[in-house]
Structure 1
Amino acid sequence: MSNVLRLAIVDPNDGSRESLKSMLLGMDTVWLEAECSRYEFFTDVVGQTTPDVGVVSLDADNEKAIELITKLSASHPDCALLAASSSTDGHLILKTMRAGAREFITLPITSEDLTSALERVGRQKFGEGDSKTRACEMIAVAGATGGVGSTSIAVNMACVLATEPGTSVALVDLDMALGDADVFLDAIPDYTLADVAQNISRLDIQLLKRSLTKHSSGLYLLPRPVELHDADVINADSLRKVIGLLKASFTHLIIDLSKSYSPVDMAVLQEVDHVVLVTQLDLPCLRNVVRLMMSFEETEGLKEKTKIVVNRAGLDTGGISLKKAKETMGRDIFAQLPNDYRTMVEVRNNGVPLITQAPKAGITHAVRDMVNKIVCDLPEEGGEGEGKDKAGDSKGVWQKFWPVGQKK
């Protein structure tokens, strides 16, 4: 997943500033943090907003703009400077680059050229070994059916991450109708996903964080809308803008999907780095896993980043064996979470996460191990499932799934 660059721009010319602003707002990989119409105020703007990139337009006054670039490169070396001008004069370009600009773009500029320039700046700023990277790792948690515990897993994964040093974590409840992440955290939110989506053009990072509900673990929650009809204001485009701002604000983003796999859910699945697909070892769940994985093949990269997690493992109900489940799905199981009904009922009813209510419980350790395995990008235990997935035939797997005699 690409890093999100936070930008601030200065241009005394209203027309060219609005044109550049409009282009930036249409890009998913950048967030416009601030705009300024006076060269003399821009140093303070950069100091207050600490953007990754400062875009300085030269056309209003070349000398003042170059002086500003010189000053900013000395006072704010972490802010990469990008100069913009309608002039192609070689002397001006050389003088600007010597003042400290990383890139020089010629106006008017196409979105493709602007994207290329920002990508080059991003590679310089977020290159390997840069400890100040703002990369955000995104994890979607989905269920093979309702009631498998995907919300409880999403909430507790998020709380575990939030307690780790150096992390800032947000949890988004995308079950528009019946989401209950706020119940698991005993939270009474002031604002919801609908509020943020409707006001995204007016929000900056500070206002966004004040709009979220902060939990004692350090986790920030963006809950589902209060009224059912409020979900109508949230579509794939508005959600991408919300996610863009969240990516610029947090190191980790956990998204609890609905069970409808709507266009909004599918848009999220395309954006995230990891998909945790929660299932149980019973026939309806495994059937849905096979169906979902077949559908995921239609989206490039989605199947490969999906990790199957068995919840309530060890539940003695005469269900399907772990070995048979692997054969049926044609994939290995990424993690297993033990069945601990009493502990999970307590944490849900008390609105307290596992790490607080039962820090030494086996289920808590299992969740922490799973989070570390995902975030640290450790190799999966046992690779035979991946080999089967690559070699197996989707149609054959589907046909083998149905016979009753083979389900146990």
Structure 2
Amino acid sequence: MPVVVDPENETLASLLAALPTGAQGVGSVDRMLAWLTQHSDEYVVVLGPHVSLEEAVGVCESLRTTRPTVSVVLVRGTLDTATLTSAMKAGARDVAQTEDLPAVEAAVARAYQLHVALRGPSGAAHVGKVVTVFSPKGGVGKTTMAVNLALALTDRGARKVCLVDLDLAFGDVAITMQLFPTHSIEQAVGAEDSLDVAMLEGLLTRHHESLMVLAAPPHPDVRERVSAQLVTRVLRTLRENYDYIVVDTAPAFDEQTLTALDETDECVIVATLDVPTLKNVKVALETMEMLNIAQDHRHLLLNRADDAVGIGPDKVEAILGMGVAARVESSIDIAAATNSGTPIVLEKPTHQSSTAIRELAAHLAGDSVAAPTSASTPDQTAVETTESDRVARRFRLRR
């Protein structure tokens, strides 16, 4: 996919709009270089007009030898002989004017053709991680935590992250981020056997902080038409193109949530320090243990965690039988940030809550920011086994 670099958000958005869905936007050359170190399948870098010519020439000269399959397209406000000469000598594949977006689009298409010719159309499959955020009780701030965790996992554009709202009846991810999606998972209903990356990308909504969102349906009645098979297809398709897929779930073990949990690599369980919630979480953990869900990959996030309520982290750990992975204290700043449409990790990156969430994101990502590549796409036999296991799990749960 293309990587676009420009420090001006408006220009960045304009360039991204002209490029294939899934193109990544970053604000600096440093972020672009960090991105390229983690993604071997990128084929073009588009340097916007607010990247200085000197810096652009340096990028061209560097990538020409270190990443010869990655083309550089230089976008300038005005074109003159000196600029063209410098760019071509440094190794830029194309130069286009800022206002000529069709020319930028054509240059990126040519870069892709060159990439295929140099490397061939086949290559190692990209396999991302699914991080499911779950709580058996509503009102604990699960969606707020999911949104902030997804933003933290992007690492300011260094990772490709998609946030999926699987609270299909009353999902709040879009409104929390003040997004107004034109499509949602509803448009994928019926495409269980044909859904691919290109189709799914067309249903996503871009957040300006390098995050893509698959919104919940606008009406609760759609929930019954979103099958477990479709949820599986969506998550496995997103794995092909994203480093992390963060799933916000409904506060219940419904069919769609159980399917997401079946597909999850890491499960973040959100709880608050009140007896009813802790009771429900304990029952949920016992259920997950029975169904063998996310064994050794469950992480407890305490939200609104104030010692003044009389239940401390030590008591929580004793009640639930698991350690606390992250603790976010009550703060009016979190609510204010959510109401403004700018989540706390963006509004106040040095806030205690932001730090706690970023540390959890770092823990989930591991010491290295590299996306997982060792797993492979399940073959048909593996899929059939998974489906058999899932049926058995449902039967055991219903008993």
TM-score, length of structure 1 as denominator length:
0.59
Q: How far does the alpha carbon of each residue in 1:356-396 deviate from its partner, in whole angstroms, 9 at most, with x for none?
A: 21122111111111110111169xxxxxxxxxxxxxxxxxx
Tell me how far 1:144 sits from its aligned partner. Answer: 3.7
How do 1:241-390 and structure 2 match up within 5 A? 241-314=233-306, 316-317=308-309, 319-340=310-331, 342-376=332-366
| Native 8 Å contact 1:197 1:242 kept in 2 | no
What's the offset of the Cα at 1:208? 2.4
RMSD value, Cα: 2.7
Number of corresponding residues: 261
Residues 188-236 of structure 1 show CA distances to partners (whole Å, capped at 9, x for unaligned) of 0000111123345555433422321100111111111112221122111
- Could you tell me how far apart the structure 1 residues matched to 2:195 and 2:255 are? 25
Residue of structure 2 equivalent to 1:76: 119
The structure that has the greater radius of gyration is 1
Q: Quick one: distance in 2 between partners of 1:272 and 1:164? A: 24
Taking a change above 3 Å as real, the CA distance of residues 163 and 196 of structure 1, as seen in their structure-2 partners, is: farther
SS in 1 for 2:304: strand
How far 1:79 moved relative to its partner?
2.1
**Given the alignment of the two structures, is residue 215 of structure 1 paired with residue 207 of structure 2, yes or no?**
yes
Q: CA deviation at 1:165?
A: 4.2
Assess if the C-alpha contact under 8 Å between 1:194 and 1:224 holds in 2. Answer: yes
Other structure's SS at 2:221 match: helix
Against the structure 1 CA distance between its residues 249 and 48, is the aligned structure 2 distance closer, same or farther, given a 3 Å change threshold?
farther
Give the whole-Å Cα distance in 2 for the aligned partners of 1:287 and 1:237.
Answer: 31
2:46 matched residue in structure 1 = none
Contact 1:338 1:366 in 2 (8 A): no
Q: Which amino acid aligns with 2:291?
A: T
Residue 237 (1) aligns with residue 232 (2): no
TM-fit CA distance, 1:248: 1.1
C-alpha distance in 2 between matches for 1:186 and 1:351: 5
The change in CA–CA distance for 1:163 and 1:321 in structure 2 (over 3 A counts) is: closer
Q: Deviations over 1:75-101 (max 9, x none)?
A: 435725xxxxxxxxxxxxxxxxxxxxx
Q: Measure the CA separation in 2 of the matches of 1:261 and 1:377.
A: 32
Q: Secondary structure at the match of 2:267?
A: strand
Spell out the pairing of 1:9-408 with structure 2 (5 A cutoff).
75-77=118-120, 79-80=122-123, 125=124, 134-199=126-191, 203-314=195-306, 316-317=308-309, 319-340=310-331, 342-376=332-366
Contact 1:197 1:239 (C-alpha < 8 Å) held by counterparts: no
Gaps of 5+ in 1: 1-5, 7-43, 51-71, 81-124, 126-132, 379-408
Tell whether the 8 Å contact from 1:143 to 1:149 is kept in structure 2 after alignment: no
Question: Percent sequence identity over matched residues?
Answer: 24
Q: 2-side partners of 1:49 and 1:283: how far apart?
A: 61
Q: How far has the Cα of 1:309 moved from its partner?
A: 1.2
Amino acid at match of 1:140: T
Distance 2:307 2:176 in 1: 23
Change in CA separation of 1:78 and 1:195 when aligned onto 2, cut-off 3 Å:
closer
**For the structure 1 residues 204 and 322, does the alpha-carbon distance in structure 2 shift closer, same or farther, using more than 3 Å as the test?**
closer
Any idea what the Cα deviations from partners look like across 1:241-278, whole Å, max 9, x if unmatched?
11121111211100001012102111111111100000
Do the aligned residues in 1 keep the contact of 2:156 with 2:209 (CA within 8 Å)? no
